Structure formats: C-alpha cells, structure tokens
C-alpha cells in the first residue's frame, strides 16, 4: 500500500514541473478606434525630427493613443480607412521611436490603403504611444491594435 501513495506523489510532482506557473493561454487584446487629425502635416521631410515619420510639429495633425503591455508578447497596429496619406509611429512613453510605417500608398473612397507595424514586447507593464499621423489626407482614420501574449 505504501507504493501507491508514493507513486501518486511522484506523478503530481512531475506534472507540476512540466507545467510552467501561470501557463494558461490568454486571449489576445484587441481594440479599434478612430484617430482624429484634421490638420495635415506635409512637412515631415522638410524639418528636423527624431522620427522616420510623424514629426508631430503641426497641432491636430496627429492622434496619440497609449497602450500598456500587460506582459511579454507582440503588438501589431494597423491603420486603415483614410483618404490621402497617413503614417503610423510607435514610441515608448519617453518618445523614443520603436518602429514606424510610412508607405506611399494613398487611400481614396474607392482604393483602400493601409499602414501597419509590429513590435516585440520585451518588458511587461511598459507603456507605448501609438501615433497616427495625417501627412496629407482626410481628417480621420481607423486604428486597430492587437496584443498577443508570448
């Protein structure tokens, strides 16, 4: 009779070692919102800026949304539903560029254009700034972000 309880304890211990703590699969976090930037800023290339796109020099030419990553993972951001030319920038909370998207596609009511970027999140509880910029276009665009846990 002593062998059975001992074997059971061994199986439970092995199962605990094989399953990492908190190893539940979490659903991705997604959000869609409208970016409002009614004043185009076509001066991106004409001025000094620490960013590849989105100089943020003209008031109301950009829309900023903060996202705090809950854990390690991947953040994907898509910008769509705009007329003209918009760009997309991701920075840390201090304003340092993480990555950007500045394709020359132009959106119109009949032609869809998109900008997209993704970044690997290497530190939990870090805040990022998603910046949608109206380079030369209409006043609104749609932003969708998806955070996937590592």
Q: Provide the residue ranges of all domains of the chain, joining segments of one domain with +.
A: 25-149
CATH class belonging to 25-149: mainly beta
The pLDDT tens digits of the residues spanning 43-79 come to: 766 566 788 888 888 999 999 999 999 999 999 999 9
Burial 1-16 (b: 16+ CB within 10 A, else e): eeeeeeeeeeeeeeee
Alpha carbons within 13 A on the beta-carbon side of 6: 3
Q: Is the pTM of this model over 0.85?
A: no
Count of all residues that appear for the chain in the document: 150
Separation between Cα atoms, residue 119 and residue 122, nearest integer Å: 9
The pLDDT tens digits of the residues spanning 110-119 come to: 567 899 999 9
């Amino acid at each position: 009779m002593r062998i059975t309880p001992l074997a059971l304890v061994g199986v439970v211990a092995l199962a605990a070692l094989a399953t990492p703590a908190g190893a539940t699969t979490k659903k991705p976090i997604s959000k869609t919102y409208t970016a409002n930037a009614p004043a185009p800023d076509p001066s991106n290339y004409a001025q000094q800026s620490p960013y590849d796109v989105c100089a943020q020099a003209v008031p109301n030419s950009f829309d900023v949304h903060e996202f705090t990553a809950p854990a390690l993972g991947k953040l994907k951001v898509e910008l769509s539903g705009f007329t003209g030319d918009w760009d997309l920038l991701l920075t840390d909370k201090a304003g340092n560029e993480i990555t950007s998207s500045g394709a020359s596609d132009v959106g119109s009511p009949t032609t869809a254009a998109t900008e997209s970027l993704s970044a690997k999140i290497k530190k939990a509880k870090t805040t990022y700034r998603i910046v949608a910029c109206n380079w030369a276009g209409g006043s609104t665009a749609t932003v969708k972000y998806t955070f996937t846990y590592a």
